[in-house]
């Protein structure tokens, strides 16, 4: 029996992440939609200034009407894409939440090994292994599952006992043992 596969029978867990509890994250899409709305407002309120800016970029004279049409067209298209992405993201979230509720996932339980602390500045993903499954998370990644901590918290570390609801490699629920770490039998 290896240390990586040994988990005591009486382990109590606390939930660190649960997709159904933590809800749908729309933050990244709202930012993009806000930028696109800003482009529409810029074109509608200041078409002459926008025409000068666009004219400098394309190296020809652009009329205020052309700049307004460009801003409204690009901004409107951007907002449409943002709404489309929200819908697609929400559909993925709902699939993951439903799979968790219906117990359509693989339970991965064991001791964390090969933990690498993530660093968003250096673009190093947080990663670890549990029971032969490797999990890796990048800051800012678009997923509806667990995204990593990137905060230096010690919840996930080598030797920690965890239980994961794994839905095709996406962590739908992450539970951490209340004990600090496990000692070999």
Tokens coding 127: 């990663």
pLDDT given for residue 43 in this prediction: 67
**Which whole-number Å values give the CA distances from 122 to 28, 61, 115, 135, 144, in the listed order?**
21, 43, 17, 19, 23
pLDDT given for residue 129 in this prediction: 94
Give the mean pLDDT per block of 10 residues along the chain (185 residues): 52 85 70 74 69 70 73 76 79 87 93 86 86 82 65 76 91 83 46
Tokens coding 69: 């049409």
pLDDT given for residue 183 in this prediction: 46
pLDDT given for residue 154 in this prediction: 66
pLDDT given for residue 106 in this prediction: 94
**Domain residue extents for the chain:** 3-22+106-177, 27-101
Contact predicate 169/129, CB 8 Å: no
User: What does pTM read for this prediction?
Assistant: 0.67
**Which whole-number Å values give the CA distances from 55 to 47, 63, 65, 128, 157, in the listed order?**
12, 8, 12, 51, 54
pLDDT given for residue 50 in this prediction: 67
Helix pair 64-101, 27-45: axis angle to 10 deg: 170
pLDDT given for residue 150 in this prediction: 55
């Amino acid at each position: 029996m290896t240390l990586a596969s040994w988990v005591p029978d009486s382990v109590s867990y606390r939930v660190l992440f649960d997709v159904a509890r933590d809800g749908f994250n729309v933050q990244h899409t709202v930012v993009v939609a806000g930028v696109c709305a800003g482009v529409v407002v810029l074109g509608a309120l200041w078409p002459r200034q926008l025409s000068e800016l666009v004219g400098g970029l394309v190296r020809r004279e652009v009329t205020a009407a052309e700049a307004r049409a460009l801003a409204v067209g690009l901004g409107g298209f951007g907002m449409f894409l943002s709404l489309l992405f929200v819908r697609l993201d929400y559909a993925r979230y709902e699939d993951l939440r439903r799979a968790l509720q219906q117990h359509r996932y693989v339970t991965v339980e064991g001791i964390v090994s090969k933990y690498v602390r993530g660093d968003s500045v250096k673009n190093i993903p947080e990663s670890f292994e549990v029971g032969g499954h490797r999990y890796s998370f990048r800051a800012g990644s678009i997923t509806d599952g667990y995204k990593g901590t990137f905060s230096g918290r010690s919840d996930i570390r080598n030797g920690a006992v965890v239980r994961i609801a794994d839905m095709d490699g996406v962590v739908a629920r992450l539970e951490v043992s209340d004990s600090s770490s496990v000692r070999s039998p």
